[in-house]
Amino acid sequence: MSDLRYIRVEWDGEIAVVSVDRQDKLNALNADVIRELGDVFTSLGSDSAVRAIVLTGAGEKAFVAGADIGELARMDPVTAVRVSRDGQRVFQDIERCPKPVVAAIGGYALGGGLELALACHLRIASTRARFGLPEVGLGIIPGYGGTVRLARVVGLGRAIEMTLTGDPVDAPRALAYGLVSSVVEGDVLMAEAKVLARRVTKNGPLAVRMALESIYRGLDIASVDAQESESALFGLLASTGDMKEGMQAFLEKRKPDFSGS
Ligand code: COA
């Protein structure tokens, strides 16, 4: 994680707070930002000291205002496919991160910024947040998984409307769409994102990890196969100290102390 130019990582106990910090361009994702994001999530995903990650955008105005249009404007077809695949790979790494990832969205989450938020497991917004996929207005389509993930989160009809119009939706509408879990004032956004993260980290870390794995695996395969996979993960958890501790704690009427093993 050395030599990061656009990504900052701070710690609050077991929560890593990752900020995209390219404020002069509203945190737009150029190739370096994408690469650094990939490096950071690979590193945090395998760091046993990390129990949850909050991803945010630096500054008041933007979570991330999209892919870097200056870079996109120079693409030829071959480069465009590579740009899309590079972004998709990093966003898949974020989605597959074994630690819960909460997006804290305090401003524009447009284009690649919304796609980045959609790759996170949970999303919380401030009242100032704006969400949209304006790509068609630039003559392109979302290329970092947005045409796939948005419909899964908000439903097909809303996703088609957002994608074809390119019009942004505000925070209350995003809440009504189920795009975010809650909307809070900007000055408490980070605190509330950590509260949301801790609602997850109070639980068994292996169970959280297997739940994510089961949910995301289930999206890509037939229901019957997904449930078979669910059973296997359920069985795997029965071998863990966390299961013993969780159930013992319930029976003894105390809070569990999970070790993640
Ligand atoms: N790519 C590259 N640069 C971007 C950018 C992006 N996606 N979004 C914003 N910027 C840059 C602007 O070019 C500007 O840079 P400059 O000061 O060097 O000219 C700077 O960030 C500030 O943006 P600005 O447009 O002046 O802020 P604003 O408050 O007037 O408008 C937005 C904010 C988000 C509405 C506007 O920046 C915008 O529409 N951005 C593009 C959104 C988009 O289409 N994203 C999808 C890309 S695929």
For 109, the 3-state DSSP assignment is strand
Q: What is the pLDDT of residue 9?
A: 98
Share of the chain above pLDDT 70, in %: 100
Dihedral sign for Cα 196, 48, 10, 59, please.
negative
Nearest CA to ligand 1 atom 42: 65
Share of the chain above pLDDT 90, in %: 99
User: Ligand 1 pocket, 65 CB below 6 A?
Assistant: yes
C-alpha of residue 30 to centroid of ligand 1, in Å: 13
What confidence tens digit (pLDDT) does each residue in 116-169 have? 999 999 999 999 999 999 999 999 999 999 999 999 999 999 999 999 999 999
pLDDT (average), residues 11-16: 97
User: Ligand 1 pocket, 26 CB below 6 A?
Assistant: yes
pLDDT (average), residues 41-62: 97
Nearest CA to ligand 1 atom 43: 66
Backbone angles phi, psi at 105, to 5 degrees: -110, 110
Strands 108-110 and 169-170, bridge-based pairing:
unpaired
**Do residues 174 and 231 both lie within one domain?**
no
Active site residue 135: yes
pLDDT (average), residues 34-49: 97
For 200, the 3-state DSSP assignment is helix
Containing structural domain, residue 138:
7-201
The average confidence (pLDDT) of the chain is 97
C-alpha of residue 221 to centroid of ligand 1, in Å: 38
Please indicate, yes or no, if residue 2 is contained in any of the structural domains.
Answer: no
Please indicate, yes or no, if residue 90 is contained in any of the structural domains.
Answer: yes
Q: What is the pLDDT of residue 2?
A: 66
CA-CA distance, 235 to 216, in Å (whole number)? Answer: 18
**Do residues 58 and 153 both lie within one domain?**
yes
User: Quick one: which of 84, 6, 92 has its CA closest to 45?
Assistant: 92
CA-CA distance, 70 to 67, in Å (whole number)? Answer: 9
Strands 169-170 and 130-132, bridge-based pairing:
antiparallel
Work out how many domains the chain is built from and give that number.
Answer: 2
User: Ligand 1 pocket, 28 CB below 6 A?
Assistant: yes
Q: How confident is the model at residue 195 (pLDDT cuts 50, 70, 90)?
A: very high
